Amino acid sequence: MTAVLATKSLVRRFGGLTATNNVTFSLPVGARHALIGPNGAGKTTFVNLLSGVLAPTSGRVILDGKDVTAWPAENRARAGLSRTFQINQLFADFTPLETIGLALSEAHGEGAEFWRRVGTHRDVVDEAVSILERLDLGDVMEDRVGSLPYGKQRLLEIAIAVAPKPKVLLLDEPAAGVPEGEREQILDIIAALPEEMALVLIEHDMELVFRFARTISVLVGGALFVEGSASEVARDPRVRQVYLGETEIDHHFDKPGGAS
């Protein structure tokens, strides 16, 4: 299978700390991949290297066959790499409607148009509305983002990343901080994303990981520790070793596929 996103010997150091240590990684089209690892394993640093928020110390990032190592985040986004953030990064003064409208107009290359009022292209507004409805934000589309409940903001964080129809979507702990009852909804939304979109989920919650992922990479100390199918990784004794003591995770390793 062709890789839509790959890294070659990726390294990132912060002073004496090596946060990403020689990671070579490849993501096929339509992947359902989870990136796991104990706290401080360098998961978010790795995502920041992929999305261009951070520049690597050495190594390469290849997106859709092109070497994008030197590209800033905005160019990677336009080339089809989208992401959500662990901590919501939204426009507090916007409405969800404006937020998604903006994401779409940028994706369509209309973002620099200064001669027309925003919201005059019916097809764009229509697309924005249907995305908002699909993510259960239709009823609040005219409310101020900053005053939305946290769960809704979390959904908008996903909506804004999904709107441009990316080739690769990096989901950095999409359910972080979301109350138990609403996690299900986020999982359903992720499950309903287009099959050809390659998804990478960074997550602590092992139940979520095993319900979602077909393949898993385990990151430990900044390096790739184990890589394989979900069931292989679940059975791997070394992985269990790393997670020893974290009883909840242990429980899920005993029952790969998760409790459903």
Q: CA torsion sign, 150 to 154 to 159 to 164?
A: positive
| H or E element, residue 102 | helix 96-107
Q: How far is the CB of 132 from another protein (least distance, A)?
A: 8
What CA–CA distance (Å, rounded) separates 80 from 169?
8
Please report, as residue ranges, which positions from 125 to 144 form the binding site for another protein (by CB under 8 A).
125-126, 128-130, 133, 138, 141-142
- In the list 27, 77, 140, 175, the residue contacting another protein (rule: CB under 8 A) is 77
119 belongs to the binding site for another protein (CB under 8 A): yes
Binding segment for another protein (CB under 8 A), chosen from 4-12, 50-58, 180-188, 215-223, is 50-58
Please report, as residue ranges, which positions from 153 to 212 form the binding site for another protein (by CB under 8 A).
160-161, 163-164
- In the list 102, 176, 193, 223, the residue contacting another protein (rule: CB under 8 A) is 102
244 belongs to the binding site for another protein (CB under 8 A): no
Terminal alpha carbon distance of the chain: 30
What CA–CA distance (Å, rounded) separates 4 from 159?
21
97 belongs to the binding site for another protein (CB under 8 A): yes
**Total number of residues shown for the chain:** 260
| Cβ count within 10 A of residue 229 | 13
Look at residue 218 and give its three-state secondary structure.
strand
Contact 232, 213 (CB under 8 A): no
Binding segment for another protein (CB under 8 A), chosen from 67-75, 180-188, 203-211, 232-240, is 67-75
Q: How far is the CB of 148 from another protein (least distance, A)?
A: 15
| Gyration radius of the chain over CA positions | 19
Sites of contact with another protein (CB under 8 A): 51-53, 72-75, 77-78, 82-83, 85, 89-94, 97-98, 101-103, 105-107, 110-120, 122, 125-126, 128-130, 133, 138, 141-142, 160-161, 163-164
